[in-house]
Amino acid sequence: MSRITGTFAELKRTGKKALVTFITAGDPDLATTEELIPLLAENGADIIELGVPFSDPMADGPTIQLSSERALAAGTTLSRILATVKSVRGRTQVPIVLMGYFNPIFSYGLERFAADAAAAGVDGVLLVDLPPEEAGEFKACADRHGIDVIFLLTPTSDETRIRTVTNRARGFIYYVSVTGVTGVRSGIEASVAGNVNIIKECSKVPVAVGFGIATPEQAGEVAATADGVVVGSAIVKLFEKHRGEELKGALATFVSSLKQAVDRGRYDN
């Protein structure tokens, strides 16, 4: 059982849902990232997504694009991100998912990446531009090294796509709550609950919902249906306003408030 699967199973056993938090690796620098991973976990993050910065982040809105630019300017590379994950593993066992785009991993080498990521302590990988139909070689490498490959479903996914993803899913399924790029939205789409339930009817793999979730109230609303709630842009936006200890304090307060809201969206068991 992977660390991601075990986390969802333990949360479900206690009636709770997962809070998944996203930060960009290397924003403002990797030393800070290494400090923030345990802080996020201590304040309620059940799973942490580390964004791998990329020069052409087509699925990301302005907040995460700017964050990626800051990380790249600071010299962040995929190999340095893996070294950071390996270093932080002495301080926390929170599941870590790398989220990004296929090009940096292709350039690194698929088998080499899977081996190095597993050795570093990476638990999962989500590549927004690698659909399941094209992921065979990469998924085979990841499977050999025990890394969960996480796929996306969207409001426009038809029954065939839902079946394709649910049949290949490991770790969790990421449901994108809106069409368009990442970023803060004013409310949750009315279709989210129904679409999540359709996905859950097809698979026992947990479903986490992300994109556009910005407040504890929205997180709690989504947690009423989904197995997990992903918050990204609203967290990354704090990096624009704060640095150092002030950033740590702001993150701790916000993530704690998100976790309290997610905990209210309990299972009925």
The residues annotated with a catalytic role in the active site are: 49, 60
What is the gyration radius of the CA atoms in the chain, in angstroms? Answer: 17
Distance of CA 103 to the CA centre of its chain: 18
Per-residue DSSP letter, 133? G
CB distance 23 to 48 below 8 Å: yes
Tokens of 211: 């994109």
Can you tell me the distance from the alpha carbon of 132 to that of 116, in angstroms, rounded to the nearest whole number? 22
* Residue (of 269, 207, 262, 255) closest to 45 by Cα position: 255
Please name the amino acid found at residue 45: A
Please name the amino acid found at residue 159: E
Can you tell me the distance from the alpha carbon of 89 to that of 61, in angstroms, rounded to the nearest whole number? 30
CB distance 58 to 129 below 8 Å: yes
For the chain, helix, strand, coil in percent to 5 are 50, 15, 35
Tokens of 269: 């068991």
Burial class (CB in 10 A: 0-12, 13-18, 19+), 198: middle
Tokens of 228: 């997990």
